[in-house]
Amino acid sequence: MKKIRFIFLIGVTAFLIHCDKKKDPVNDFESNLLCTSFAICNGETPAKTGIIGDSWTDILLGFPLVETLRPQLENRYNYKFAGATLGGKTLQQVVSQGLQFQVIDQGGADMKVVLLSLGGNDIQANLNEYIGNISTVQAQRFATIKANLKQLIITGNAYKIARYGGPPIKWIIHGYDYPNPYMAPVIGGSDEGCKSKFDRIGLVVPDAGVFTSTQLDAFNNLLVDITREEPSLIYVDLRNTLGGKPASRAELMLDCIHANNLGYTLLADKLARLIYPVTNIGL
């Protein structure tokens, strides 16, 4: 129990430092959490770049030594994000909670680009639903992801133009790199992409690496397809940064779906280079 408390306190401290609100950290913990994780802030925090993301952008409490994409881009590439990032966040939740509107409110009239790191949790949640029906369930989930992503973009741009005028926002979404399903989870509730979870629930696949990498390729292809229908959406391919198909290299991974600090450094380097022509920040 003492060890758990110690890890939690370290995580809280790192999180508060990352938020950099320059007030008493204990008293401001709740407001920092609401602002960074849910974009519910006291007043606007003007920024040209917004962000809405899952654990690839913020693992949050318990792993302060793992700098995910958001802190990497902020600390090494001079990004100042307005937005909502929290491990476990799904695209479905973002749309249902209207986080795109809150991020636009937080960023203000000068916000021109929003970086999205979403979709992985929508695919991986409730793996037991795939049992005996993999292709049908995947098709249904992809259709829902497409509908939600288009709704986020269309409603977000309409809201931005109605409130501030000017051109629509450019939305950048990155695909994920390949997982490594043979590794064990180290974050509570993050085992959805692990072979150990497949085995426990009875999801039988000929090869876990082939299954997860094929699914990830299909997700990336889906994002490309959506860009053809939504001119405001820009897709960035991060595959093969951590070693390549069918599974990313274990020495660059924290667990079966998250990179370690070195892995996220490589991913952030590639992402920063690819989005620079759009954001004009960081290089």
Q: What is the model's pTM?
A: 0.85
List pLDDT tens digits, range 6-20: 333 334 434 433 444
Query: At residue 3, does pLDDT exceed 60?
Result: no
Percent with pLDDT over 90 in the chain: 74
Query: At residue 74, does pLDDT exceed 80?
Result: yes
List pLDDT tens digits, range 135-176: 999 999 999 999 999 999 999 999 999 999 999 999 999 999
pLDDT at residue number 29: 44
Please give the residue that has the higher pLDDT: either 65 or 104. 104
Q: Output helix, strand, coil percentages for the chain, rounded to the nearest 5.
A: 50, 10, 40
List pLDDT tens digits, range 234-247: 999 999 999 999 99
Query: At residue 210, does pLDDT exceed 90?
Result: yes
